[in-house]
Amino acid sequence: MSKLIKPKDYKALLDLRQTEQGIKLIKEFFQLNLSTELRLRRVTAPLFVLKGLGINDDLNGVERPVTFPIKDLGDARAEVVHSLAKWKRLTLAEYHVENGYGVYTDMNAIRADEELDNLHSLYVDQWDWEAVISREQRTLSFLKSVVERIYAAILRTEYLVCETYPQIKPFLPEKIHFIHSEDLLQMYPDKSPKEREDAICEKYGAVFIIGIGGKLSNGEKHDGRAPDYDDWSTMAENGKPGLNGDILIWYPILGRSFELSSMGIRVDKESLLKQLALENKEDRKTLYFHERLLSDQLPLSIGGGIGQSRLCMVLLHKGHVGEIQASIWPEDMRKECEKLGMPLI
């Protein structure tokens, strides 16, 4: 409960019926725009994968996946996915997707260790996407161009929502600002990473923070990233490491920064080996996913995830993600949210 943000003078602009209609509108329109912008085709995704293959997303390396035994496989254990960061790259290879094209999917996950608040739920739903790129496209400039196309799709979706529901007013800026996590540290040396995100997002409205996963000049990471999907160690054109990052916006209803997407150019063979060594995870080299990557059986790619409930929450001006999705919440949080005018589904 201590993490619950209580928006001042909050009033939901849509009732439950309008909210459900708005969710449907956003999800259908945005995924069509995303697939058109990035030339993606929809594929069917798993809810769980076999344990021990190195396919599941390890997030920060401390979150416990939900596991269960499979009777017909001799009680071999399956893991409910955290995300599909590595599974998508295997899919690109299996579908023989050509350079410049990719896939997207509806990803549903359970993150049992999530700390519950206005933005974080046990249930995670996002558009997971992945596209094949060339060696020459493994650059910061190419990453930025993809970010701008995704942000353009978000802006078009915001426009449609505001046209459909005139009581909702647009607030996202026309342009997204780019900054490296090291430059952000130098700008706000006395702030924590979260405070730095708040400060830069309040200043620009929409920001892509580059280079998340590696240590900064103060010896700390801006945030954790697994070593085996995003490339956060390769030097980009600006002389700083990092070919990945997060799309964040300033969300005035909660008075804080708000992450909509984590994405990046994926590791190649060299950066995978480097990052596994940096994180003392070299034992992973023998896992199925890692062996295929190290034996050049997987294409170079770029990819990420875009929160579905989060995007709907922002564009429908909601104060809690539980107003968008059905999940489990502490009873005292439900009661408090009811009092604040943001009843949880």
Residue 294 neighbours by CB distance under 10 Å: 16
Q: Does the active-site annotation cover 262?
A: yes
Nearest of 151, 266, 275, 273 to residue 221 by alpha carbon:
275
Residue from 57, 125, 158, 230 carrying the catalytic annotation:
57
Q: Does the active-site annotation cover 15?
A: no
Containing 50, the helix (H) or strand (E) segment is strand 48-50
Which token pair is 36?
């058109």
Residue from 121, 126, 325, 327 carrying the catalytic annotation:
126
Which residues in the chain show pLDDT less than 70?
A: 1-2, 58-62
Residue 52: the pLDDT is: 83
Residue from 35, 233, 257, 262 carrying the catalytic annotation:
262
Q: Does the active-site annotation cover 246?
A: yes
For residue 42, CA distances in Å to 47, 89, 138, 265 come to 16, 14, 24, 20
151: Cβ contacts below 8 Å, ≥ 6 apart: 176, 206, 247
Token pair 């608040």: residue: 117
Residue 2: the pLDDT is: 59
Residue 81: the pLDDT is: 86
Which token pair is 58?
């390890």
Residue from 246, 268, 301, 327 carrying the catalytic annotation:
246
